[in-house]
Amino acid sequence: MNNINECQLMGFIKDKLPLQKNNKGFYFVEFFLRFLQPGNHKKKIFQTIRCICQGPQAIYFAEKFNSGEKVNVVGELKSQCHCFEEGFYYETIVSVKKCY
């Protein structure tokens, strides 16, 4: 890993992987990666993290992987703030660079 913000996660694809196009015509796949929470393997407590894969990598990912499959994802962590009337929350997203 070269970037200070890079991460590597291993988990299971939670949902279907529909290949989508944005309004500029670029392909992307959005999915949730499900994995056991560190230190809670006996209790089987799972976490999920939203992942977004773009461009040619998205096409490959949508064709190769299915819901429930175990995958390794290398990407970059990004954080987004979502505001609404009662308050706000931060969401962490992985921008996928490689998957296998």
Q: Taking residues 4-27, what's their average pLDDT?
A: 89
SS (H, E, C) 31-89: EEEEEECCCCCCCCCEEEEEEEEECHHHHHHHHHCCCCCEEEEEEEEEEEEEEECCEEE
Reply yes or no on whether the pLDDT at 28 is more than 90: yes
- pLDDT above 80 (res 20): yes
d(CA 75, CA 97): 5
If one compares 4 and 46, the residue with the highest pLDDT of the two is 46
Mean pLDDT of 46-71: 90
Of the pLDDT bands very low, low, confident and very high (cuts 50, 70, 90), residue 99 is: confident
- Beta-carbon neighbour count of residue 1 at 10 Å? 10
pLDDT (0 to 100) of residue 3: 64
Task: Taking residues 14-36, report their average pLDDT.
Answer: 90
What does pTM read for this prediction? Answer: 0.79
φ, ψ for residue 7 (rounded to 5)? -140, 160
Residue 74: what pLDDT? 94
Mean pLDDT of all residues in 2-26: 86
